[in-house]
Structures are given as C-alpha cells and as structure tokens.
Structure 1
Amino acid sequence: MGTLEGKVALITGAGQGIGQGIAFALAKEGVAIAVAGRTESKLDTTVAAIREFGGTAIPVRCDVSDGDDITAAVDKTVTELGGIDILVNNANDSRPGPLLKVKDDDFKRAFASGPLATLRLMQACHPHMKARGGGSVINLVTSAAVRWDASNYGVYGAIKEGMRVLTRAAAGEWGADGIRVNNVAPHALTPALEWWMDKNPEEAAEFVAGIPLGRVGEPEADIGRAVVFLVGEDARYLTGATIPLDGGQSRWG
C-alpha cells in the first residue's frame, strides 16, 4: 500500500458509486483526494469514510456543467492540497432514452456535463500537472457506444465518444509534458444500476448472463483498483487508450 503517496487527485462525481470507489482505492494508496460533486451530504460521507481509514480528503462542491464551478474546484484543490497529479472525469448528467424523445435541453445538459466539462477540467488541471512534472487523466466512457444495437443509447453514447476523442487528442498533445490520458469503460454496481436491477429483475438477469465473468463489477475492488494501476508507474507507457472494465462483455474494435 502507499504506492502513490504524495499525489493529489481531483475526482468528479465522487460522492457515490464508481467515483466513490475510485476515491477509496486511490486514498488507500496515499493519494490526497478532492472529492467533487453537487450534493454536499454525499461528499461529506465520502470524505468521512476516507478520513476514517487514515486517508486525506476534502469536499469540493462542483457542478461540472458550470465553468465557474470548475475553476473554483481546481483552485480549491491546489490551495488546500498543494497541486493536482490525477484528474478523474466521472460526473455526467445523461440518461438513456429513444432519440425521438430527446429534447434540445437534454442534449445540451448531457454535452455540458460530458465533453465540455471534460475539456474544461483537463484545461484547468494541465498547468498544475505540468508544474509537478506530469500527471494522469482518467476519463470514464461507455461500452454502450460500441453496442451492436445502440437503441436508447444515442445521446449517452455520443457524448461519451466525444470524450474519447478528447482523450486521444490530449494524449497526443500533452505527452511531452509528462501527462498521460486514458479512458475507462466500466460496468459497476452504482445506485442507479442497483435501482434498475431491482425494478427489472428479468432484464437484469439477462444483462448479467451476458458478462463472461458472471457478475457486475464492484466500484472500488474492480474499477478503483484498476485506476490505481493506470495512474501509477506500472502503466507509465500507456496513454490514449480505452480500457474496458466490464468483465469481458464488450468488444472494442
């Protein structure tokens, strides 16, 4: 343990689910965590849990669709924790649904919290990572974008694919600054997925049956621990890649 001692991470959407799992895993390796999100009570819960097992964490109130919030979140992280080495873009406000029911405001909200937020956060963190000799960015995308049937995933897949392109561009442009940028496409037991599985047990069983490893991932043990590897020295030659953490369910070309 402690393989990332002295590093600082800003993680969006870290109040619950996958973001929280990543925060726990990184904190247990010595990373100081800026726990960012919209709901203060959830941030406080995550921060308290990290401090309870001896980690360092601060709550950072941030709506990623708001550019001023992003600036303030980065500034607070640097001021209180001393810099930024790791950025995890996890927060997103997009929901599955058929294209004919998508309203302009739905798409704009999804875009603002997806590609636009990702770009803004990467831009804001870049100078701080460069000043510390490099860093690592992890953007959370989705295997829904490569489903054989993308029905009901049009907007969600589109914004996540936009993030993937930004990842490739940043990896190419920022490699000389020592900054690596990768994507993770996870399946994990989030509150939203738990709710859906409880409400749709037959569909949920079919969904799980399609996962070769036979289960949905755990936010900390399966996603968080993989992120620990990706941001660490053992993955120092990996950048611009998309890593599917979904038990073998998806097939990326």
Structure 2
Amino acid sequence: MSLQGKIALVTGAGQGVGQGIAFALAAQGARVAVTGRTLSKLETTAEEIRSRGGEALPLVCEVKSPESIAACVDAVVDAWGGVNILVNNAQEVPLGRLHDLTDDALMAGWESGPMATFRLMKLCYPYLKGDGVIINLGSSAAKRWDMAGYGAYAAAKEGIRALTRAAACEWGPDNIRCNAILPHAMSPGMEWWINNNPEEAHEFLSQIPQRRVGDCEQDIGRFVALLCTDGANYVNGQSIALDGGQAFLG
C-alpha cells in the first residue's frame, strides 16, 4: 500500500469524482478526510472506506467560506497531525450563455473553484512542505469545439490550472508537487447532463476515442492515487486529461 501513513484531504467527496478519489486513496493506505456540504453523503463515503479496511474522517465544509475551510484544515490536523495530500475537487458549475448568466452564478463558480483552491493550498502549505502533493481538478471545457454555454465554467477551471502551474513552480523547492487533472467521469452531474442533453451528449461521446465516460474510482481515482505515490515523484506542474483521449492539450 504505497500511500501508507499519508493523510489526504479531499473536497467534494460525498459523491462522484471526489468520492472515487477518496476510495482510491484509501485503498492505497492513506487516511482520508472526506469533506463536503452534506454530512449524510460524507458519512456514506466514510463508512464505505471503513468497510474496506481504511480510515476516514467525514467533515462538513463549505468551500466558499474562508472560515469553514480554515476550520476543516484545523480539524484534520487536530485529528491526524497534518496533511500530505490535498485534492481540490469541489466546484459549483456555472453553466449558461453569457447573456443568461447572473453575477451570482459566476461568482459562485469562482469562489468554489479558483478561490477555494487558492485558499486551501495556502492553508495546507505548512503541512505539505517536504513531501506534499496537491491535485487540483481542471476541465477540458476550454478545449471544447463549441464554447457556447460553457464560458464561465471554463474560465473558472482555467484559473485553477494557472494556480496549479504557479504552485508547482513556486513550491517545487519545498518538495511540494502540484498537478491538475481534467477528467470525464460518470458522476451524478455528468449523468444529469447526459440525460438532459441527449443530442449534445451523443456528439460529446462520439468525440471520445474510447467511446465512454470514465469511472469515478477505477479510471479517475486510481490515477490520482498513482500520481500521489513516489512513482510519480518527478511529475509536477502538469495538466493531465483523463478523458479517453478527447482533449488535445497542445
């Protein structure tokens, strides 16, 4: 178990991609703090991790609140003594054409995405120094063939990618690695989108060379766990598409 002894904090871990990542990190031996807004979902994730023989700590956290974020990090440190792995997954998704988007929707996407990522990285920095890993969740939305309706979401995710690269460059001397993944995963949000946009979803799936959307744990979580191990010690500052080959990050 190559993450034995490591302590991970995963935001948005009550379902979907965050849950899949939490499962995979725990399977490799990490103790995982699973955070999100809904305690019942977090407890379900934690119970599943424990049933598999792992350790989990469910913590309610509103990533748009600086106070809630700080309290969450403090709770993990108080319980387990530090943080070795930070996964910034939680994100409110601002979808819609520019004329239809409200300021509030745009700000919710920004505060839950780049701002929360920025704040959590800085709060965890003292504990990550020496052997820390940060995984931030980006998106290939900015690489879409048609950006209509996805501009605000893509802007937030591109902001996260920029912060990822900056952290990799600035904190690399402290032996902190920071990478971004850009996943396609069959989360509840993705299922909703496919069911409510059948024609666009058909075109979307046809553009994936492997013709399928990834599994949250098997395809996304396991890769994140690998990226956190010593086997990926020289991978830093990268944006890695986990999308079956759809995006060209040239």
Q: Shorter-chain TM-score: what band?
A: over 0.9
Q: Report the counterpart of residue 162 of structure 1 in structure 2.
A: 159
Equivalent residue letter for 1:212: P
Q: Report the counterpart of residue 178 of structure 1 in structure 2.
A: 175
Q: Over residues 16-60 of structure 1, what are the superposed CA-to-partner deviations in whole Å (9 max), with x where a residue is unaligned?
A: 000000000000000000000001110010000000010000101
C-alpha distance in 2, partners of 1:115/1:208?
Answer: 28
| Percent of aligned pairs with the same amino acid | 54
Equivalent residue letter for 1:182: N
Equivalent residue letter for 2:4: E
The answer to whether the 8 A contact 2:186-2:214 is kept is yes
Gaps of 5+ in 1: none
Question: Residue 216 of structure 1 aligns to a residue in which SS?
Answer: coil
> Which is worse superposed, 22-31 or 191-200?
191-200
The equivalent position to 2:221 in structure 1, one of 220, 224, 246, is 224
Alignment of 1:65-76 (within 5 A): 65-76=64-75
Question: Residue 239 of structure 1 aligns to a residue in which SS?
Answer: coil
- TM-score normalised per structure 1: 0.96
The equivalent position to 1:243 in structure 2, one of 219, 232, 240, is 240
Equivalent residue letter for 1:6: G
What is the deviation of 1:107?
Answer: 1.3
Q: Over residues 72-98 of structure 1, what are the superposed CA-to-partner deviations in whole Å (9 max), with x where a residue is unaligned?
A: 010011111221000000001123210
C-alpha distance in 2, partners of 1:95/1:110?
Answer: 6
Q: Report the counterpart of residue 86 of structure 2 in structure 1.
A: 87
Question: Residue 99 of structure 1 aligns to a residue in which SS?
Answer: coil
C-alpha distance in 2, partners of 1:107/1:203?
Answer: 23
What is the deviation of 1:187?
Answer: 0.1
C-alpha distance in 1, partners of 2:201/2:110?
Answer: 28
C-alpha distance in 2, partners of 1:251/1:227?
Answer: 20
Q: Report the counterpart of residue 195 of structure 2 in structure 1.
A: 198
Q: Label 1:149 to 1:202 Cα distance change in 2 as closer, same or farther (>3 A).
A: closer
Question: Residue 59 of structure 1 aligns to a residue in which SS?
Answer: strand
Question: Residue 101 of structure 1 aligns to a residue in which SS?
Answer: coil
The equivalent position to 2:209 in structure 1, one of 212, 217, 229, is 212
Q: Report the counterpart of residue 16 of structure 2 in structure 1.
A: 17
Q: Work out the number of aligned pairs and report it.
A: 250
What is the deviation of 1:109?
Answer: 1.1
Question: Residue 161 of structure 1 aligns to a residue in which SS?
Answer: helix
The answer to whether the 8 A contact 2:94-2:106 is kept is no
C-alpha distance in 2, partners of 1:169/1:12?
Answer: 21
The answer to whether the 8 A contact 2:61-2:72 is kept is yes
The equivalent position to 1:135 in structure 2, one of 127, 132, 136, is 132
Q: Report the counterpart of residue 97 of structure 2 in structure 1.
A: 98
C-alpha distance in 2, partners of 1:223/1:144?
Answer: 17
Alignment of 1:145-156 (within 5 A): 145-156=142-153
- TM-score normalised per structure 2: 0.98
Matched, 1:109 2:108: yes
C-alpha distance in 2, partners of 1:60/1:134?
Answer: 24
Q: Over residues 103-136 of structure 1, what are the superposed CA-to-partner deviations in whole Å (9 max), with x where a residue is unaligned?
A: 1111111111111100000000000111xx2200
What is the deviation of 1:203?
Answer: 3.2
C-alpha distance in 1, partners of 2:225/2:64?
Answer: 26
Question: Residue 100 of structure 1 aligns to a residue in which SS?
Answer: coil
Question: Residue 78 of structure 1 aligns to a residue in which SS?
Answer: helix
Question: Residue 99 of structure 2 aligns to a residue in which SS?
Answer: helix
